[in-house]
Structure 1
Amino acid sequence: MNDMSWADGVTRVAVLTGAGISTDSGIPDYRGPSGVWTRDPALVEAFTRDSFRSDPAVRTRFWRTYLGHAAWRAEPNAAHRALAELERAGVAVRILTQNVDGLHQKAGSSPRKVLEMHGTMHEVRCTGCGARTPSDATLARVAAGDADPRCLDCGGILQLAVVLFGQHLDADTVSHAERIAAHSQLMLAVGTSLQVEPVASLCAVAVNAGNRLVIVNRDPTPYDDLAVEVIREPSGTALPRICAALATRAASAVR
């Protein structure tokens, strides 16, 4: 990591986070060497909207997969905590996350400053009537033998409140994220392959608005050429240093 001169004068930061920021918390990523899709490519079908809604067997596999998912037991790691500490230091931090695990909020980041681009696993949504309920009640039904739980109000298909493949992101959420990317002086892209659109293109939105882009990721991404720096360190070691430097320089700027 260089002298981080790109951190000078930065008081507004947007942080785009992907699965890689949560691997130190014991949650596997998707496309890495030990990723969910790498180990079991067929599991992608259970996360595809049309397959999920049309095939009870797919839904059964989906719920069985999530019943024992590591994310339910996961705790925030050093990267999550560093971002929460940066906010507490007075830097304007907005987190745009592709993750559904809720670990940013659990680490102490203000919920209103975390935009969950792909939804949350902590709620269940009925695809019929739209009712939203906490996930634990539905998971308890699955654990008790209800392999394909239905809405208790209307009988509709229940889905975790996450965006599946083939399902469009909420247009208002995308517009909100684009505004944040355009108005932040620095965009940090952390632990994301930047292969899933339209979220990945937020990096281009930031750069086209004249802002700096720094990428922290183990593997190359399609947006590396736009970045002022690409950092190959694990997020758990890189982010605490980055956030400490940002906090120190922001404090110096207001003196």
Structure 2
Amino acid sequence: MQEQITRAAQMIRDADALLITAGAGMGVDSGLPDFRGKDGFWNAYPALGNAGLDFRDVASPYLLRRDPALGWGFYGHRLKLYRETQPHAGFALLQAWARRMKRGAFVVTSNVDGQFQKAGYAPERVCEIHGSLHHLQCDRNCTGLIWSADEFSPQVDEVNCRLLNEPPRCGRCGELARPNVLMFDDWNWISERTDAQRRRWNDWLKGVQRPVVIELGAGLAIPSIRHITARVCNTTGAQAIRINPVAPEIDLRMGVGLQIGALAALQAIAQALGEAWRLSFRLGARGGEA
């Protein structure tokens, strides 16, 4: 694997911009659950496994309406977990590399956990293609508004995955509020916040000349992020570094694959980048906006 790591480091050295495309595997090293497959999901939420419910059943607007205590037990637990989780050191490594690049970094992620913003990335440089659990909307979409979830403090019976306090409500009509995330079979997601993020990402991409894409923990079950990586490489000529311990395969003309976890891969690349880059990371040298 050392040859691939060396190549990845050279791709980063040659780039004037860093596009970070991240899936669920990015958060595993921070201690977030891995939902890959029913076993991973049921290990995280055994009560749902006992009820025979899988991720698609629970991440559904229909379940949230039918049983708000169960639906918000699931989403409330995740929201609390995301608020308590500290991003791992790999987030800072990516920021340090971006600071050496003329155009800095932009993040495109399918994660709804807000970990990049928590790690210090500028919110205007993050695109959350499936929305954010830190934001709410009316389930009826009475006004099209999206608002912060900061005032909602979920109290969850983790054994039974049920919300103990009142679920959030729409301040306009009083109906149930839901996370502003794209669920399965979801026709009522308000996408305006994500649409604005996409426009900023597209504007940023127009100004880069030699981008490198670092894709982290993007699986095959819901391949949205992998498709984005491929599209950017095909349209801009960018090279990609695919980091995935399960499915690292990539067209060699497009880039390099590393069959390893996110944090370990980023630390190995940092070692290969050499002392000058490590020194700039320690001193906080800035050359672009991350």
| TM beyond 0.5 | yes
- 1:40-119 equivalences in 2 (<5 Å): 40=49, 41-49=53-61, 51-52=62-63, 55-57=65-67, 59-69=68-78, 70-90=81-101, 92-119=104-131
Q: Which amino acid aligns with 2:264?
A: T
- 1:87-236 equivalences in 2 (<5 Å): 87-90=98-101, 92-126=104-138, 127-140=141-154, 145-146=165-166, 148-167=167-186, 173-174=197-198, 177=201, 183=208, 185-196=211-222, 198-209=224-235, 210-220=237-247, 224-225=250-251, 227-236=254-263
Contact 2:38 2:54 in 1 (8 A): no
Q: Which amino acid aligns with 2:145?
A: A
Aligned residue in 1 for 2:269: 242
Paired residue total: 246
CA-based RMSD of the aligned residues comes to 3.3
| Displacement of 1:177 | 4.6
Q: 1:138 to 1:106 in 2, by over 3 A?
A: closer
| Displacement of 1:201 | 1.5
| Displacement of 1:28 | 0.9
| Displacement of 1:60 | 2.4
SS at match of 2:185: coil
Aligned residue in 2 for 1:22: 27
- For 1:145-192, what per-residue CA distance to the aligned partner results, in whole angstroms no more than 9, with x for missing partners? 32x543132123311121212347655655655665674621111011
Q: How far apart in 2 are the matches of 1:185 and 1:139?
A: 40
Q: How far apart in 1 are the matches of 2:195 and 2:122?
A: 23
Q: How far apart in 2 are the matches of 1:180 and 1:195?
A: 29
Q: 1:194 to 1:93 in 2, by over 3 A?
A: farther
Instruction: State the identity %.
Output: 23
Q: Which amino acid aligns with 1:6?
A: M
Which residues of structure 1 form unaligned runs of 5+?
none
Q: How far apart in 1 are the matches of 2:108 and 2:225?
A: 9
- For 1:190-234, what per-residue CA distance to the aligned partner results, in whole angstroms no more than 9, with x for missing partners? 01114435443212212212111110011116x623642100121
Which residues of structure 2 form unaligned runs of 5+?
157-162, 281-286
Contact 1:124 1:138 in 2 (8 A): no
SS at match of 1:200: helix
Contact 2:124 2:197 in 1 (8 A): no
Aligned residue in 1 for 2:284: none
Structure 1 length-normalised TM: 0.80
| Displacement of 1:62 | 1.9
Q: How far apart in 2 are the matches of 1:200 and 1:166?
A: 21
Q: Which amino acid aligns with 1:64?
A: G
| Displacement of 1:65 | 1.5
> For structure 1, which segment, 167-176 or 84-93, has the greater mean C-alpha deviation from structure 2 after superposition?
167-176
Contact 1:206 1:212 in 2 (8 A): no
Contact 1:100 1:119 in 2 (8 A): yes
| Displacement of 1:61 | 1.5
Q: Which amino acid aligns with 1:109?
A: Y
